[in-house]
Chains A and B, each alone.
Chain A
Amino acid sequence: DVKVTQSSRYLVKRTGEKVFLECVQDMDHENMFWYRQDPGLGLRLIYFSYDVKMKEKGDIPEGYSVSREKKERFSLILESASTNQTSMYLCASSPTDTGVTEAFFGQGTRLTVV
C-alpha cells in the first residue's frame, strides 16, 4: 500500500512565524505535490516537484516555498505565516507514467495561524 505521511494532523502557529510542513512517501514516486483546501474554493495547487531539487509553482505559490532534498520527502515552508494561510494542507505523490498518474494523498494538516 502506498503511504503518504504528513508530519502533523493539527498545528497552531503565530502570525509571522516560519512554519514547516513535512511530507514523506514510501513508494519511490517521482512527483510530489502540496495543495491547500478551503471551503468554497476546493483544492488548489501550491507547488509541485517532479524530481529531487526540482520544483514548479502551482496556482497559488505566493507566501510559500518548498524543499525537496530527498526523493521521498517534500517540505512546504511558510516563510512568515499569516492568518489567511489558515487552511487544510494536503500532500500527494504520484508516479511519472503518463496516463496512469494515480495520485495518493496524505491525511492532511489543519493549520491555524493566530
Chain B
Amino acid sequence: KQEVTQIPAALSVPEGENLVLNCSFTDSAIYNLQWFRQDPGKGLTSLLLIQSSQREQTSGRLNASLDKSSGRSTLYIAASQPGDSATYLCAVDTGRRALTFGSGTRLQVQP
C-alpha cells in the first residue's frame, strides 16, 4: 500500500528565506505527483503537477522536483513571503485515479 510522508510537519522561517519541503513515497510506480497548498479552513489549491516522466516543474517562485527511483519529491520556495504561510500537501497518483496524500507541512513565514 502506498504511503506518503512529509517532513518536516511544521516549519517557521523569516521572510526572504529560501526553503525546501520534502515528500517521500514508498511505491515508485506512480503516474504523477501533485503539490497543493491549503489555507486554514479552506480547500486545496493545486500548485504543481509532475508527471512520472518529468524531473521537475516550475511556477514562479516554486520549483518541484521528482526522483521516482528514490521515492522522493521536494518543493523549493524561493524568497519566501508571509503570504506563503499555509499547509503544503503532496499527493501521488498510483493509477487508481484517486490520490494518496501526505499529512502536510505547516509553513509559517515571519515578517
Contact = CB atoms under 8 A, between A and B. Distances in A.
Contact of B43 (A42, A99, A102, A107): A107
A99 B34 CA distance: 11
Contact of B51 (A41, A100, A106): A100
A48 interface: yes
B32 A106 contact: no
A113 interface: no
Interface residues of A, number: 30
Contacts of B99: 33, 43, 45, 92, 103
B46 interface: yes
Contacts of B103: 40-42
B46 A33 contact: no
Nearest to B97: A31
B95 interface: yes
A103 B46 contact: yes
Contacts of A94: 97
A64 interface: no
Most buried by B among A90, A103, A104, A106: A103
Nearest to B99: A103
Given A42-B104, A110-B41, A101 B46 contact: no
Interface in A68-114: 88, 90, 92, 94, 96, 98-108, 110
Contact of B32 (A4, A88, A92, A101): A101
27 contacts: A4-B43, A33-B98, A41-B103, A42-B102, A45-B98, A48-B97, A88-B41, A90-B43, A96-B97, A99-B31, A99-B52, A100-B49, A101-B31, A101-B93, A102-B32, A102-B34, A102-B49, A103-B46, A103-B99, A104-B46, A105-B36, A105-B44, A105-B46, A107-B42, A108-B41, A108-B42, A108-B43
Given A90-B44, A102-B34, A107-B42, 13 more contacts: A4-B43, A33-B98, A35-B101, A42-B101, A48-B97, A58-B98, A101-B31, A101-B93, A102-B49, A103-B46, A103-B99, A105-B36, A108-B43
